Amino acid sequence: MRVFICWLINACDWIGGLSFYAWFVILPLWKKVVVFGSIVAIIPAFITAIYAAMNYELMLSRGMIRWMSPLNIVTNRFYYFFKVLFLSGAAWSILISYCAHKFFPNEKFDWIVPFFKNVVESISHLF
């Protein structure tokens, strides 16, 4: 099952790439919904990227592992983590934005900007 999930994460890179383009097309139409979806998508994107980085060796062939140095494997793992983080974040953002728009069509999401402004201000007061 781990191999299938890792393969699915790796095979869905094109969904993340298309999501970046869709994000800019949908942004003028549903501004606050897309912002809400992007903020909520941080959590599943990190979970997806951590899972993919932990199981990075499953994506490599035995020949690649044999000929790569351990330093190359570690640096490629970091690259793979950030690639999966951004691409899965874009895909999760579009999915969550679409679901929020379909399940809550009358919600204007006007509470997002003041809420996150208060969060940023409370964090800045700590420092």
The answer as to whether 114 is a domain residue is yes
Looking at residues 17-31, what average pLDDT do you find? 82
Looking at residues 3-10, what average pLDDT do you find? 88
The answer as to whether 32 is a domain residue is yes
Looking at residues 58-76, what average pLDDT do you find? 84
The answer as to whether 127 is a domain residue is no
The pLDDT confidence band at residue 42, using thresholds 50, 70 and 90, is very high
The answer as to whether 30 is a domain residue is yes
Residue 113 belongs to domain spanning = 2-121
The answer as to whether 59 is a domain residue is yes
pLDDT at position 13 is 82
Overall pTM surpassing 0.85 (yes/no): no
The answer as to whether 126 is a domain residue is no
Outline where DSSP puts E strands in the chain. none
Contact assessment for residue 95 and residue 22, using Cβ atoms and an 8 Å cutoff: no
The answer as to whether 91 is a domain residue is yes
Q: How many domains does the chain have?
A: 1
The answer as to whether 41 is a domain residue is yes
- Please give the radius of gyration of the chain, using alpha carbons only, rounded to the nearest integer: 18
